Amino acid sequence: MLYLAIVSLIWAFSFGLIGSALTDVDSFLVATLRLGFASLVFLPFLRLKSIDRSDAVRLFIYGGIQFGLMYVGYMKAYQYLPSHLVALFSILTPVYVVLVHDLRSRRFCTRYLLAALLSVGGAATIKVQGIPTGSIWAGFALMQVAGISFAFGQVAYRDWKCAHPVVQDHSVFALLALGGTVCAGIFSLFFADPEALTINPSQWQAILYLGCIASGLGFFLWNKGATHCNSGTLAAFNNALVPLAVLFSFTLFGELETVSGKALIRLAMGGILITLAVILATRKKR
């Protein structure tokens, strides 16, 4: 769980950073660049001889779904939503994680689903008042595409790694990152806005941080952590970053004026519920 907790802190900071620094840069380009930098970080560790060709293709596809499709929906959502709502609309991911796991394993675990629902309830408790209407639903739909893609990828990689325990995570992670880069790159090639391709020096710094730290180190530690816990714990931790991301967006990235005393109370209550979800998921059966 330590890996998942560390990544939650890293990603919580990223929501506000994207919303404050990169909204005027094409979302597909940003997704491609940050995944490209993540690939460069792990390419020196790639060991193709440690796996079969079919496994290499499988991991490439998993990365395309988990990172590529996820980022396409996630980055595009910032055109419709402020950063704290992007964080909030990712709250259904734990349910997707449990459902994908149950479908792949062809069995149902009530306790893990309850933990996922409790995590969703905790994130929903943090819901900010005064949500705008109209294009918000487009942003919500994009975040669900991102959530389903991310849920499938992390569960699929977890299952693959459990079947190949001898293979080191760092020796194959570049395949996942490259799959995401190619997927995002295809969307960028066909759908990028030609008028939003200019990147200033401060934005390059943000993209470098997001690519090397949030995407590179973050995704690596997340997938590594996923292999050391059950699907219920993994699902619950998918919402652990929500209260942190909302808190960072409010305090560090200029969205504090939207906060009331009641919102802060909801933030604390939501964090408690998510913590309880993790405890429920990790509790061993008698």
Please write the tens of the pLDDT for every residue from 91-121.
Answer: 778 888 888 888 887 777 777 777 777 777 7
Residues near 252 by beta carbon (within 8 Å), at least 6 away in sequence:
13, 16
Residues of the chain with pLDDT under 70: 1, 12-13, 15-20, 83-84, 87, 123-124, 126-135, 241-264, 267, 278, 281-286
Report the domain count for the chain: 1
Neighbouring C-beta atoms of residue 244, cutoff 10 Å: 20
Is-contact 244 264, C-beta < 8 A? no
pLDDT of residue 282: 66
Amino acid at 187: F
Measured CA to CA, the distance from residue 143 to residue 76 in angstroms comes to 9
pLDDT of residue 265: 74
CA angle 63, 203, 92 (to 5 degrees): 45
Answer whether 0.85 is exceeded by the pTM.
no
Residue given tokens 């952590």 in the structure block: 225
Which H helix or E strand runs over 183? helix 173-191
DSSP string, 116-166: HHHHHHHHHHTPPSS---STHHHHHHHHHHHHHHHHHHHHHHHHHHHH-TT
Measured CA to CA, the distance from residue 147 to residue 90 in angstroms comes to 6
Q: Write out the residue range of the structural domain in which residue 272 sits.
A: 2-282
Residue 114 C-beta-side C-alpha neighbours within 13 Å: 9
Measured CA to CA, the distance from residue 127 to residue 129 in angstroms comes to 7
Give the ranges where 196-240 is alpha helix by DSSP (H): 201-209, 218-226, 231-237
pLDDT of residue 181: 96
Alpha-carbon Rg for the chain, nearest whole angstrom, is: 18
Is-contact 227 161, C-beta < 8 A? yes
